[in-house]
Structure 1
Amino acid sequence: MTYKLVALDVDGTLLNDEHEMTERTKNTVMEAARQGIEIVLCTGRGPQNSIPFMESMGLEGYVISHNGAATVEVATRTIVHQFEMDRGGLTPFMEYCREQGIHFDINTAFEMYVDHVEALAGPVRYMYENFLMMPSNLPAWEALADPVVKFTAFGESADLDRVFEAWSKWTLPFNMLRSGEYFIDLMHQEASKGNALAQLAAKRGYKPEEVLAIGNYYNDITMLTYAGMGIAMDNSPVEVKAAADAITASNNEDGVHEALVKYCLS
């Protein structure tokens, strides 16, 4: 099968555990693009800290950001599509996090907000620095002009396990998922990587069987099952591997390189 669109998750997939894209993987992605395959990053990150990876490879096109909540054109920073959340519905989740001491941020397509940016320290500040995105102070809702697309809770894995269990018992107006060991994301009910990838593929004229997707975590399952070929990294949880059509090497062993050579370049 000739794949025309390749969707790549970023953290835990395209990047190794040092948050770096190796030269080997970078060169293979670029070679796939030179051969006419369209590359799209499909990530939980926002466009501000995912587009630079595309630019470092000399690629234009699109990034599907915020786990599918906002799709953005690389060259123009134009929002192609976004799933707007009901801000009022976030109030109980914000109150819960404040009461339980769980850090959270609020995301529009291009901006990120927290309660007290000046108080960021320790693991929370380190997390933002690692992901190359420093937030601003959250204004009153009426002063926030742009749609909210994602709410993220961040903390120790065991703490988030308890939060996820508690919120799972609520009547949820949002799509809730674990986007990483230390993250819980809330988004519009229809926002997912799979839905956003399906919309972009249709816009670009590709059939599902012409799409290959590579990912490593629960938030990647919808795109792995949408794509004609869904590939899980070896560092994926067992449920993600079960949802995939194939498994490649881990993110620390250039698994994206291995998959592209096998399925796109050979």
Structure 2
Amino acid sequence: MNRYKMIALDVDGTLINDDHEITPDTMHSIRRLAEQGTEIVLCTGRSPSSTLPLLELIGIDGTIITHNGAATVESRTRRVLHQFSFALDRIAPYIEYCRRHHIHFDVNTAFDLYVEDASVLTDEALEMYGRFYIEPQTLPSAEQLGETIVKFTVFAEKDELDRVEKEWEQWDSGLHMIRSGDFFIDVMHGEASKGNSLREWARIRGIERSEVLAIGNYYNDITMLQFAGVGIAMDNSPLEVKEAADDVTATNNEDGVHAALIKYCL
């Protein structure tokens, strides 16, 4: 008997393999649980636009926690249920830093992504955004933007981001910085995290913490692994992520999500 009413799944490095695919076994086990009434929640650093197609591919409806916890969206209506947002001027020092050091950045509202100048994007950047089903737009002024933002992301080589991360850790901006991958740093609202949004959604749904199972693989997953009744790290996770989890499953290239769901739920 499956005692978990909610299953939170990270996407990149967890749900999908290194070929950016969800394997048939993993899709089948997720569908089985959804058919039994288990609530499936994708919890990801991705935007809604690059997450909703994955739910459609699996063939289920659900709730997605996107932008590393900054925006929670209902899949059927595409309605934003909750978001941690802030004004564009809060990240002015970060934008100036990136311009000075020639580091690529983007600015995200719940559904849209903006870059400095969409007409001059490199092939590498276009390929990256295309892989995530994103069409970047040129960043307007704060007045023209008309809505608050949920995430500021920089994209560069790992060594360069290691240096940027060390510098930005010294800043007192009141914003929350997290490494969401070797090549990405996200800057968000101080309360935005996968764990906080998962906690709030479980509360709204009337689901106890002990009835939540979470699976992830990177530093941005630690808060949700620690919140869940059982938190499971992928075997391709860094050591700190494994240490924060209750169990470790196989890698994302070895159907680790499927193996965990079989072990704990099916």
Note if contact 1:217-1:236 (Cα within 8 Å) is conserved in structure 2. yes
1:146 aligns with 2:147: yes
TM-score by length of 2: 0.98
Which residue of structure 2 aligns with residue 110 of structure 1? 111
Note if contact 2:225-2:231 (Cα within 8 Å) is conserved in structure 1. yes
Which residue of structure 1 aligns with residue 78 of structure 2? 77
Note if contact 2:89-2:142 (Cα within 8 Å) is conserved in structure 1. no
Provide structure 1 residue ranges, at least 5 long, that are not aligned to the other structure.
none
Which residue of structure 2 aligns with residue 52 of structure 1? 53
1:96-175 pair list within 5 angstroms? 96-175=97-176
| 1:132 Cα deviation after fit | 1.6
Query: What is the distance in 2 between the residues matched to 1:85 and 1:236?
Result: 31
CA RMSD, 1 decimal: 0.9
Q: What are the superposed Cα offsets for residues 142-175 of structure 1, whole Å, 9 maximum, x if unpaired? A: 0112220000000100110010011011113211
Query: What is the distance in 2 between the residues matched to 1:205 and 1:52?
Result: 27
Aligned-partner residue type, residue 60 of structure 2: L
Which residue of structure 1 aligns with residue 94 of structure 2? 93
Which residue of structure 2 aligns with residue 259 of structure 1? 260
| 1:118 Cα deviation after fit | 1.2
Aligned-partner residue type, residue 33 of structure 1: A
SS in 1 for 2:42: strand
1:238-249 pair list within 5 angstroms? 238-249=239-250
Note if contact 1:5-1:40 (Cα within 8 Å) is conserved in structure 2. yes
Percent sequence identity over aligned pairs: 55
Query: What is the distance in 2 between the residues matched to 1:57 and 1:146?
Result: 32
Aligned-partner residue type, residue 150 of structure 1: K
Please identify runs of 4+ aligned residues in structure 1 that moved more than 2 A.
none
Query: What is the distance in 2 between the residues matched to 1:8 and 1:240?
Result: 15
| 1:28 Cα deviation after fit | 1.0
TM-score by length of 1: 0.98
Query: What is the distance in 2 between the residues matched to 1:68 and 1:95?
Result: 25
Task: Tell me how many residue pairs correspond in the alignment.
Answer: 265
Note if contact 2:73-2:79 (Cα within 8 Å) is conserved in structure 1. yes
Provide structure 2 residue ranges, at least 5 long, that are not aligned to the other structure.
none
Note if contact 1:89-1:173 (Cα within 8 Å) is conserved in structure 2. no
Query: What is the distance in 2 between the residues matched to 1:132 and 1:52?
Result: 9
